[in-house]
Amino acid sequence: MLGFAVGVLKTRAGGNLQTGRRRGVVNMKSRLPSNSAGDLYVDSSCIDCDVCRWMVPDVFDRAQGQSAVLHQPVGDDMMRKALQAAVACPVGSIRTETPNPLAKAARDDFPIPVHETLVDIYYNGFNSEKSFSANSYLVVDEELGGVLIDSPRYNSALAKSIEKKCGDLGVKYMVLTHSDDVADHARWAERFGLTRIMHKNQIRSFNGTNDVEMVLEGEGPWEISKNLNILFVPGHSSGCIALHDIKNKTLLSGDFYAFSARKGTISGFPDYNHFSWQTQVENMTKVTRMDLNFGTSSAASVKARFTLLWVCERELCGHGPAQRRTSQEEAAFTPERL
């Protein structure tokens, strides 16, 4: 079970942690001084995206504007989780000074079940720098097969693991919630022969989404299976969509909004709004009336009538400093006020 809110796994194999992208000689000068003494560390390439911190808060924390290993992992279980965070890291900033035998297993753990109470919803890990470390998810639908929500960084090992999860039905769709989080969508489409779904208002030629196979128009909703609906939730951008998993009472919401563990409230991150904050607030209000499961160990902290899973971006997985600010509009969405 992920200690959660939304997302996990990637790496650059700096030093001797060779779980992912680049191999190279350890450069001890790049080790951030804020790291605790020990084998695991974060280097100076960290972009402060927050992925490792929400994944393994007992190991990683924020220090001097970047992530750092404040407590060295104790035991194989904690080390494996820390190495999963290394795989999820979009820029490969998490390294080890010596080879770790758990590195490959940590890579192969993905996709990881989001939560024990949710059936067939997985976090893909392998976050991409192209989308500033946005999380991608996999829903395995008994009617359709696999449905990817947004795009992880392309990785052949992850592709094989996703295929295994989906079985004979394969991977049918990729729901692109908005233009910011498309990452390696074209490579995934080619690998699986899947159909990419995106709203017309978010199509962009610069990121290749002008080639998506299914373009949504209007305000929906759009049913893609008996269990899965796509909802139109503009606000953050003019064409944001979200995937509603009816069986799990879960909304996979992209950047539409998320629960901020740090602030103890729902946030729409107005500083990163690209379209209309008023429209976003209206849609956030509508979603709070839906029958959704929070689906995490922190559910008790939220009123029963406001149960929303963080399968979107936990605090946007650190999408900039907006997650650390408070606005009057966001304050209206505290659990106590809903």
d(CA 92, CA 206): 25
Q: What's residue 150's pLDDT?
A: 93
Q: Could you tell me if 82 and 155 lie in one domain?
A: no
Helices (H), the chain: 51-55, 75-88, 103-108, 156-166, 185-192, 277-287, 328-331
The residues facing 243 across adjacent strands are 230, 252
d(CA 274, CA 238): 8
d(CA 52, CA 114): 15
Q: Could you tell me if 236 and 307 lie in one domain?
A: yes
The answer to whether 204 and 197 are in contact (CB under 8 A) is: no
Q: Could you tell me if 67 and 143 lie in one domain?
A: no
Q: Could you tell me if 218 and 283 lie in one domain?
A: yes
Query: How many domains are contained in the chain?
Result: 2
d(CA 310, CA 313): 6
CATH number of the domain at 241, please.
3.60.15.10
Asked, for residue 2, whether it belongs to a domain, the answer is no
Structure token pair of residue 14 = 């700096």
Q: Could you tell me if 159 and 252 lie in one domain?
A: yes
CATH number of the domain at 78, please.
3.30.70.20
Q: Could you tell me if 172 and 302 lie in one domain?
A: yes
Q: Which helix (H) or strand (E) holds 61?
A: strand 60-63
Q: Could you tell me if 87 and 118 lie in one domain?
A: no
Q: Could you tell me if 84 and 149 lie in one domain?
A: no
Q: Which domain holds residue 165?
A: 110-316
Q: What's residue 323's pLDDT?
A: 31
Q: Could you tell me if 105 and 115 lie in one domain?
A: no
Q: Could you tell me if 165 and 270 lie in one domain?
A: yes
Residue 80's closest CA among 47, 64, 58, 65? 58
Asked, for residue 35, whether it belongs to a domain, the answer is yes
Asked, for residue 4, whether it belongs to a domain, the answer is no
Along the 338 residues of the chain, how does pLDDT read in single tens digits?
332 222 222 223 333 343 334 434 445 448 999 999 999 999 999 999 888 998 899 999 999 999 999 999 999 999 999 999 999 999 999 999 999 999 999 999 999 998 887 889 999 999 999 988 888 999 999 999 999 999 999 999 999 999 999 999 999 999 999 988 899 999 999 999 999 999 999 889 888 899 999 999 999 899 999 999 999 988 888 889 999 998 888 888 887 776 665 666 667 777 777 888 888 888 877 777 777 764 332 223 333 223 333 333 333 233 432 233 334 444 444 433 33
d(CA 51, CA 116): 20
Q: Could you tell me if 139 and 33 lie in one domain?
A: no
Q: What's residue 74's pLDDT?
A: 96
